[in-house]
Homo-oligomer: A and B are copies of this chain.
């Protein structure tokens, strides 16, 4: 009935508030330096409520990571969709990632942090790794489509994907660390062109 509906909606809202409070705090103070209580306070709920929505602190990290990658991949898919040329496809792919992280510094930082957390429970580590694999796998698939003419091995393609993801997130996270602004024009334009400068001719 309607009552159940409303309850459901309220729960979903609470869960969402918890998730976004956690994301904000994790990226501002670091995952380890954010306590569950800080999260619940920021979300304006009782401490116990956290465990009604997430079985553990690790679980919310997983949730955030999963949702985050979903958003990233969706944005990429949207931008790449219905692009004819292979070359343009790759450019769009790169551009989409830059644009996404430009708007979502929080996810940039979260992804970076979590990548530095191997251990946790082995079980969790596995799960987290899967998310990054999903990212890389997506890129690899796109690259395969784009480069179908040139017969790269699967491994080569996967390395290309790593290079691409690594470049985007690595570059941006250095900018963040140094406190450099990247504002205006497409980040892609500025960054890649500059970076490539020194190695371009070599590959020609």
Contact = CB atoms under 8 A, between A and B. Distances in A.
Given A162-B178, A173-B166, A197 B147 contact: yes
A204 interface: yes
Contacts of A159: 175, 180, 182, 190-191, 194
Given A29-B118, A109-B116, A132-B174, A91 B199 contact: yes
Interface residues of A, number: 65
Nearest to A172: B166
Interface in A125-168: 129, 132-133, 136, 143, 146-147, 152, 155-156, 158-160, 162-168
Contacts of A192: 163, 199, 203
B163 A116 contact: no
Given A171-B163, A174-B165, A180-B158, A200 B198 contact: no
Interface string A173-201: 11101101010000000111111111111
A166 B162 contact: no
Interface string A13-37: 0000000000000001110110000
Contacts of A166: 166-167, 169-175
A117 interface: yes
Contacts of A147: 197-198
Contacts of A178: 129, 132-133, 136, 158, 162
Contacts of A165: 170, 174
B116 A198 contact: no
Contacts of A170: 165-171, 173
Contacts of A32: 32, 117
A129 B173 CA distance: 12
A200 B191 contact: no
A115 B163 CA distance: 19
Given A174-B166, A177-B129, A87 B198 contact: yes
A104 interface: no
